[in-house]
Amino acid sequence: MVRGPREGSIPPAEDQRRAGAARLKDVDALERDDLEVARRTSPEDRARNLLALIRTGFRLKRAALRTRYPSESAEKIDARFGRWLARDDEQ
């Protein structure tokens, strides 16, 4: 016995394509909005935002190190962070 499509089943390929195109339009609208906001943002604010993101990244890396090495002292975590920061990934 052949069964037809059920409610909640995966839609046919054409419906999936249309759904994907609709999501891309949503992303495009968000990207346009992001670009517009970026154009209106002063260079000083962009630099301030960048520095805040870098500081947040450093705090997250330190937290990850503390999680990975819970028994290490703060000094050892600082040393690990310093080595991570000084490494050269370009080689």
Please write the tens of the pLDDT for every residue from 9-34: 666 676 666 666 666 567 788 888 88
Q: Note the pTM of the prediction, 2 decimals.
A: 0.59
Q: Is the dihedral of CA 86, 87, 89, 90 positive or negative?
A: positive
Distance, in Å, from the CA atom of 45 to the CA atom of 5, rounded to the nearest integer, reads: 53
Lowest mean pLDDT among 2-11, 16-25, 78-87: 2-11
Q: Is 8 helix (H, G, I), strand (E, B) or coil?
A: coil
